[in-house]
């Protein structure tokens, strides 16, 4: 993926994030706040799981371009996945950030962060939404 495409994807999801609002019937959703202690990103994530499948996700809050776009792309990619699939996907994304072997195909637009490791201070921004959602997914299983 070239630099221009990366930038385009990130800015597109930053300027027009999907599902960025508090869901209408929020009592049907599980809620988690995720924030970055070393900066000021602060996201609320709402997720609806039924029969082990992620039915819906929304988010709200204030965060930088990287966190916001990453959250939007994450939501796009996770809706419809089973919990197991979602965790695999997240693991894969994390491997990419950590420069470990990963499967490119499943990540689609999330590949826009494939060289974010070069900016150490932004790596956590990209991962922040995943950190939040994992808290819910891990709890769900137990």
Partner 1 sequence: MNQSDFPMLKKDIIYFDNAATTLKPKQVLDKMNDYYENYSANAHRGDYDISFKTDQEYELAREKVRKFINAREVEEIIFTSGTTESLNMVANGFFKKYLEENDEILITMSEHASNVLPWFHLQNTNGCLVKFIPLDANHYVTLENVKKAVTPRTKLIALAGITNVLGDERPIKEITEFAHAHNIFVVMDGAQSVPHKKTDVCDLDVDFLAFSGHKMCGPTGIGVLYGKKQLLEELDPINMGGGMNESFDDPQNLYFKDLPHRLEAGTPNIAGAIGLGQAIDYLQSIGMDKINEYEKSLRKYAIDKLIKIPYLDILNIEADGAIISFNVNDIFSQDVAYYLNKYNICVRAGNHCAKILKNEVGIKNSLRISFYFYNTKSEIDDFIELIKNKEKMKVEMI
Of 28, 55, 62, 104, the one binding partner 1 by CB under 8 A: 62
Does 20 interact with partner 1 (rule: CB under 8 A)?
no
Residues near 27 by beta carbon (within 8 Å), at least 6 away in sequence: none
Does 39 interact with partner 1 (rule: CB under 8 A)?
yes
Nearer to partner 1, 14 or 102 (CB): 14
Kindly state the DSSP code that residue 80 receives in the 8-state scheme.
T
Counting residues that bind partner 1 (by CB under 8 A) gives: 16
Q: With the C-alpha atoms ordered 89, 94, 95, 96, is the resulting torsion angle positive or negative?
A: positive
For residue 73, the minimal CB distance to partner 1 (Å) is 13
- Taking each helix axis from N to C end, the angle separating 65-78 and 120-141, rounded to the nearest 10 degrees, works out to 40
For residue 36, the minimal CB distance to partner 1 (Å) is 9
**103 to 132, contacts with partner 1 by CB under 8 A?**
119, 121-122
Of 32, 57, 66, 136, the one binding partner 1 by CB under 8 A: 66
Residues near 125 by beta carbon (within 8 Å), at least 6 away in sequence: 36, 39, 41, 63, 64, 66, 67, 70
Part of the chain binding partner 1 (CB under 8 A), chosen from 5-13, 19-27, 45-53, 99-107: 5-13
Binding site for partner 1 (CB under 8 A): 7, 10-11, 14, 39-41, 62-66, 68, 119, 121-122
């Amino acid at each position: 993926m070239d630099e221009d495409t990366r930038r385009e994807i990130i800015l597109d999801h930053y300027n027009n994030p999907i599902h960025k609002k508090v869901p209408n019937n929020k009592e049907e959703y599980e809620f988690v706040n995720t924030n970055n202690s070393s900066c000021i990103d602060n996201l609320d994530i709402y997720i609806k799981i039924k029969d082990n499948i992620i039915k819906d996700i929304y988010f709200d809050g204030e965060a930088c371009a990287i966190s916001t776009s990453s959250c939007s792309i994450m939501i796009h990619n996770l809706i419809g996945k089973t919990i197991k699939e979602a965790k695999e996907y997240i693991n894969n994304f994390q491997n990419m950030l950590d420069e470990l072997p990963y499967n490119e195909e499943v990540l689609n637009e999330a590949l826009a962060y494939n060289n974010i490791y070069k900016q150490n201070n932004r790596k956590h921004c990209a991962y922040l939404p995943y950190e939040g959602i994992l808290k819910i997914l891990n709890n769900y299983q137990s």
